[in-house]
Chains A and B, each alone.
Chain A
Amino acid sequence: MRIDHDALVIGAGGAGLWAALELARAGVSTGVLTKLYPTRSHTGAAQGGVCAALGNQEEDHWEWHMFDTVKGGDYLVDQDAAEVLAHEAIETVIELEHMGLPFNRTPDGKIDQRRFGGHTRNFGEAPVKRACFAADRTGHMILQTLYQNCIKAGVQFYDEYHVVDLLFEGGDGGDGGRAAGAVAYRIADGELHTFGAKAVLLATGGNGRMFSITSNAHSLTGDGMSLVYRHGIPLEDMEFYQFHPTGIYGIGILLSEAARGEGGTLLNADGERFMSRYAPKAMELAPRDMVSRAIYLEIRDGRGAGPKKDYVYLDVRHLGRAVIEEKLPDITEFARVYLGVEPLTEPVPVQPTAHYAMGGIPTDLRTRVVRDEANTVVEGLFAAGETACVSVHGANRLGTNSLVDLLVFGRRAGREMTAYCRAAEAPSIAADVEEPVRSELEALRTRPEGESPSALKAELATLMMDNVGVFRTARMMATAVAGVAAIKERYTRVRVRDTGRIFNTDLLEARELGYLIDGAEAMASSAIARTESRGAHSRDDYPERDDVNFLAHTLAYRGEAGPSLRYKPVTITRFEPKPRTY
């Protein structure tokens, strides 16, 4: 079946919804495709807050937010992008409030703000209250508010349509072609639909499910990243993957950094606040890469807690019942439900959990996808949110900046696409564009024998967790590169057990595994080639940052014999790289 719109938005989390809202308000014919229902998107799981230098609690300036973002990212951040992020965060948060977002309030009725890791006043002096929040369910409120406003604006949603291919005209995406639409699989009945559009936005989120311990939803399989990669467009900075310090032990469910922003501490088995040895000034509010490494070292050196000595404690007992119940209600419940631990009276076992892709689909400041080191634009193709790499996070993202990113650049994407759609002609799409993906899906569905995708997925997740995690060595990364290549080869022989047409999640999970493998391949290859330590990429054989050779973004292009890598320079405007201490 063929459906045409001027604009297509793939993914209905924060970035996709805000883009759709801008497009709908401007009267552009828009379709939003999501493999879930919009309100199931993982933006809703964000907890602690969204930073904007409103200065509601104390003096603050967007230039300070910009600096913190650049330093937090270990100077791999493109500083023109960080400037846009920090500056537009303010009007973006205000606009969200006008849309109805129920922020917590100060006594005089303004948006309440609290501390978060790495966010400081006056270029690193001391923590600042910058994170605007709604209890510890800020992401839930953002997702609900944007969805509500999309309903108000009459946005057309295609719920439970799983996008399985991108369409280009005049050549492939990596070869001068222009975006022309997408092919989607309607989950309800297994029918393929061709969506034609002038402008296509990828807002498909991250790929944390390639790791065995993750805060990410099952749906986060890097679909958008993989789809562009398969069309010759590179993935940028994939080696930079964030491990959040405080995942629930053994499961990985996130316990927000807001717990530490409100004064929670981290303790080792001896009850020691070990961060004093790693970040004496910032302590528990150091950036996430540093805190996760500190936890890793405590455990490695035998100071982990529990029978296996493999976790540390997050302690909020001293905050008192009022703060815990009013400002951290959800994570308190998570500890009770998933660990059987009462945070009011007991410290909570935590370990680092795979959380966020700093890298992704390369874009310019206008959210246009770019395909090489000269930033050549792929016409009509846009990306925003976690799936994109603009790059505002560099080598390590600061807490709350994921929400800032998807709001600021989701909004920008909607405006850019509106302008683009007004000027562009409708693309022409051949009649048989569904064929390649139809035959791929049929092969999965009808292969008589083969191995189980779920077992292969579990192998991939363990391989990546063990070898491309918080700390990396050349040997571990070589194991990952070889292991992913072997899994990729075996993937050509997987078989699904459900051969039906209606709501075949067995088939779609197998398809998603292919996306995860693509992301893992780009990540492992990009990581082993970066012979330095920077931000979240930390290796024992090259423990120092190397600005001479690696103040550069990695671009990983798909190839038959594994990815080929190229590099592009980092944009530096205001802040020269300096050693990074907290």
Chain B
Amino acid sequence: MQVDLRILRFDPERDAAPHWESYRVEAEPMDRVLNLLTTVKAEQDGTLTFRRSCAHGICGSDAMLINGRNRLACKIRVDQLGKKITVAPLTGLPVVKDLVVDMDTFFSKYRSVMPFLIADSPAPERERRQSQADRARYDDTTKCILCAACTTACPSFWAQPSYVGPAAIVNAHRFIFDSRDDAGDERLEILADKDGVWRCRTIFNCVDACPRGINITRAILEVSRAVVERSV
């Protein structure tokens, strides 16, 4: 089948502003958008620029805005989108070139929530024990691949770029609810800030955007509840 692919292009060395360009691509229904982008780059325009690596939804390189929703280009198929497909860079981060955005602020927000285990007790000779129920408590948020699809789908982030954003909260949740961790209070203090959890308006765009199926809004609400419980 033939697909009409429209891509928002921007080359800072040539263009004053982003502009749309159209391509016709021969595709199979099971092809992913990444296949289409690769075909365009190989056969039609070698300057088309996008990030990609694993090509099966694990590395998080190729999140972009596809037919109006944040998706991984390697995980969304032509048959899920139809014959007209539009692709644009993630919203709310500076565009470097074409579909590549500057991830620096995204990763600095991630780092701001202390995304690492802090255990005060000395490490035992063998593993720290953890019950299956305690392990299950934070399972959902361990799946995050830091693709930025959730944060850049969030209207609260668009309106207030200083908001720490859903991805950082997900990664704080992963440690706050880990029974082995002792620094939950410090993380809750960080997230009690005006740019922390209270910016969430439960719009659920993040849940729709997450390629890993994480229930992000629930995770944010659980952190919000923990912030409240801590302060009373």
Contacts and interface: CB of A to CB of B under 8 A. Distances in A.
Contacts of A41: 59
A97 B127 contact: yes
Interface centre among B45, B59, B77, B114 (most CB of A within 10 A): B59
A36 B130 contact: no
Interface residues of A, number: 55
Interface stretch (A303-311, A371-379, A493-501, A533-541): A493-501
Contacts of A219: 53
Given A100-B117, A506-B46, A337 B77 contact: yes
Contacts of A498: 46-47, 49
B139 to A, nearest CB: 7
Contact of B142 (A102, A330, A500, A506): A102
Contacts of B52: 218
A217 B47 contact: no
Interface string B98-119: 0010010001000100111111
Interface in A72-129: 94, 97-100, 102-105, 107-111
Nearest to B213: A333
Interface in A202-226: 217-219
A500 B130 contact: no
A111 B59 contact: no
B41 A506 contact: yes
Interface in B42-93: 42, 45-47, 49-50, 52-61, 75, 77
Interface stretch (A144-152, A294-302, A403-411, A473-481): A144-152
B55 to A, nearest CB: 6
A454 B11 CA distance: 21
Interface in B128-167: 128-132, 135, 138-139, 142-146
Contacts of A504: 49
Contacts, number: 142
A44 interface: yes
A431 to B, nearest CB: 28
Interface string B20-55: 000000000010000000000110011101101111
B96 interface: yes
B46 to A, nearest CB: 3
B178 interface: yes
Contacts of B178: 100, 102
B126 interface: yes
A151 B132 contact: no
Given A44-B58, A45-B56, A188-B96, A503 B49 contact: yes
B180 interface: yes
A99 B115 contact: no
A318 to B, nearest CB: 24
Contacts of B143: 137, 140
Nearest to A35: B53
B31 to A, nearest CB: 10
Contacts of A105: 130-132, 135
B57 A337 contact: yes
A1 interface: no
A108 B123 CA distance: 18
Contact of B127 (A39, A110, A134, A141): A110
Contacts of A497: 45-47
A178 interface: no
A340 B30 contact: yes
Nearest to A140: B58
Nearest to A101: B117
A99 B116 CA distance: 8
A42 interface: yes
Contact of B47 (A40, A152, A500): A500
Closest 3 CB pairs of A and B: A100-B117, A497-B46, A109-B129
Given A40-B53, A98-B123, A140-B58, 14 more contacts: A36-B53, A39-B59, A39-B60, A98-B119, A98-B128, A100-B175, A100-B178, A102-B142, A137-B143, A337-B77, A500-B97, A502-B11, A502-B13, A506-B46
Interface of B: 11-14, 30, 41-42, 45-47, 49-50, 52-61, 75, 77, 96-97, 100, 103, 107, 111, 114-119, 123, 125-132, 135, 138-139, 142-146, 175, 178, 180-181
12 contacts: A94-B127, A102-B142, A103-B127, A109-B129, A109-B130, A140-B58, A152-B114, A454-B41, A496-B46, A497-B47, A502-B12, A506-B41
